[in-house]
Chain A
Amino acid sequence: MASASFEKPAPSASTGTTTPAAWSYFNPVSPLFSAYDRFASWRRDLGLPHPGTVENISKEVKATHLSNFIFDGARADLTKTFSMSPLFQVTHSFSLGSQTLPSSYNFGAIFATQKIFLQGGVDHEGSVNGRFNHGWTPNSVTKVNAQLSQQVGHNMIQAEHEYTGTDFAISAKTLNPWPLDLTGIYVGSYLQSFTKNLALGVETYLQRPTPDESETSTSYLLKYTSNDKNWIATAQLQPSGVFQSTYWQKLSEKVEVAAELQVIATPARRDAVATLGAKYDFRLASFKAQLDSTGKVSALLEQRFTPAFAFLVAGEIDHFKNAAKVGVGVMIEGSTLTPEEMGMVPEIQ
């Protein structure tokens, strides 16, 4: 943006001629602008790829591993779509019989357009969680995330602004800020591509539990993407002694594998966990399997019988603790729209 408007006076200043091309308030700083322009064009010429964001640095691994998808007991999700553009859908989720979580009912609503994303959920106890994303421009997004409950101390609000450039991503985040004394947690992160494959980044935490106390910690990130983007390796180091590294590879169109190693070596605790997982995507089903060094073997099958009905089976065996968990679930998607309104060709059953 700035480069276009200051292109005129910049060359005269850099070549040292006495007559400036046009008088402007910016003349005294135009050498800076020209230097910036040269730096920007040099950077453009490198053609560095976009590195992704710090938050999503191990997105592929998380999508392959089933730690985020496993459940036990029985559950049912009834989703109803009322409109495709803008997207508007409501979800009724029921879950019961879980060993770890109490039975619950959750009502959720999603409304999304190109720029705005609104999501809300309320459970039978009256706790509300909400999410609001607003894209100011395609590469500048503000996200607000909140959790509100009747109980004191369970409220959480998180606000984040993310800017993604052509070869970098920068974000600022705050958790539970209190504007009067500026307590809360503040996180800043920056990820920059250095070559076509390598991106390096930092993430800084500033914790202010009380106005006179503050603590910062910085972690360093590395992401290496192969030329054909078929494998990604990441590493994350926190100087306090936590190291995390992941590896993800796409073996074929349908098979993805991922490995993760987490090492905690603080004076208080020494621990390491390795996780290995695979994901198979079939036309109407997806199967995930996972094995980790704490002795857990788990699997999840999601079988879609029709586009509107899916059946889930999840299982986990903890060999070291001699425990097992089983979960079954159904996902039913309904719509008040006719197939034509959804922009689909009617399917022959």
Chain B
Amino acid sequence: MPSEETKERITKVIELSRTVIHYGWIPFIIYVGFTRSNPQPSLIKLISPLA
């Protein structure tokens, strides 16, 4: 059984990774899609619903 200190640290790491995924997931997909797309789209077309 891990000590209280380790438990606390693991909890912190999980909370932090949850926050990172929460804010980073969509930008991550857009970044991956933007860089790997063939042909590469322009940024304005990517974000705006009307362009």
Contacts and interface: CB of A to CB of B under 8 A. Distances in A.
A and B found bound together: yes
Contact of A90 (B14, B18, B36, B46): B46
A199 B18 CA distance: 39
Majority secondary structure of chain B interface residues (helix, strand, loop or mixed)? helix
A107 B41 contact: no
> What does DSSP make chain A's interface, helix, strand, loop or mixed?
strand
Given A78-B49, A118-B32, A180-B7, A88 B25 contact: no
A85 B26 contact: no
A92 B26 contact: no
Interface in A78-115: 78, 80, 82-83, 85-86, 88, 90, 92, 107, 109-111, 113
A148 B22 contact: yes
Which residue of A78, A85, A128 has the most chain B CB atoms within 10 A of its CB atom? Answer: A128
B16 interface: no
Contacts of A337: 39
A109 B21 contact: no
Contacts of B41: 82-83, 336
Interface in A120-160: 120-122, 128, 130, 146, 148, 155
Contact of B45 (A118, A148, A336): A336
Interface in B1-51: 2, 7, 10-11, 14, 18, 21-22, 25-26, 28-30, 32-34, 36-39, 41-42, 45-46, 49
A281 interface: no
A303 interface: no
Contacts of B36: 83, 86, 88, 111, 113
A120 B29 contact: yes
Interface string A159-195: 0000000000000000000011000000000000000
A118 B49 contact: no
Contacts of A118: 28-29, 32
Contact of A109 (B18, B26, B49): B26
A342 B45 CA distance: 17
A28 to B, nearest CB: 37
Interface of B: 2, 7, 10-11, 14, 18, 21-22, 25-26, 28-30, 32-34, 36-39, 41-42, 45-46, 49
9 contacts: A78-B49, A83-B41, A88-B34, A92-B49, A111-B33, A113-B36, A120-B25, A336-B45, A341-B39
Given A80-B49, A109-B33, A148-B21, 8 more contacts: A78-B49, A83-B37, A107-B26, A128-B21, A128-B25, A180-B2, A180-B11, A337-B39
